[in-house]
Structure 1
Amino acid sequence: MREKTFHVYVDSHDRSLLLQSLVELKNLLIQQGRYTDCVDELIFKVINAPLKKIKTVYVGGQDE
């Protein structure tokens, strides 16, 4: 059976927050003497992920 693939679309702020969180997790694992291989792979994937511009349409909202 094939594994499911998920796509996550984040803006630049969320991307930097995600990277900071992964680095903090990696540092915590290093302090505990645990392996960091899976976190390293995630950091690598986030850094090398292609940037995709998508158009955002806001529906509703405030009356001006």
Structure 2
Amino acid sequence: MKEPMYHIALDDNEQSAVIQSLNDSRNARIAEGKPTDIYDDLILKIGNAPYRKVKVIERDRDNAR
């Protein structure tokens, strides 16, 4: 069975914050002497993600249920 793929729309500031958080977690793992392969892969994926123009429709969360 194929694993599901997730797409997340991030602006430049959000992308930067995600990469910074991943890098902080990666550095903590390095300090603990644990492997950082997953963090390395995620940082590369998010940093090299293609730019795509999308239309985002905001919904009122109270009425969305």
TM-score, L = length of structure 1: 0.83
Q: Which amino acid aligns with 2:51?
A: L
Structure 1 residues 58, 8: CA separation in 2 closer, same or farther (over 3 Å shift)?
closer
Q: Which amino acid aligns with 2:41?
A: E
- Could you tell me which residue of structure 2 aligns to residue 11 of structure 1? 11
Count residues with an aligned counterpart. Answer: 60
What is the Cα deviation at residue 53 of structure 1? 1.7
Computing the radius of gyration from Cα coordinates, the structure with the larger value is: 1
Any unmatched runs of 5+ in structure 1? 60-64
Q: Over aligned residues, Cα RMSD in angstroms?
A: 1.7
Q: Secondary structure at the match of 2:52?
A: coil
1:31 to 2:27 alignment: no
After superposition, give the CA deviation of every residue in 1:3-58 in whole Å (9 maximum; x if it has no partner): 11111111111000001001100000000000000000000100110011223456
* Separation (CA, whole Å) in 2 of partners of 1:4 and 1:57: 23
TM-score, L = length of structure 2: 0.81
Aligned-residue sequence identity (percent) comes to 37
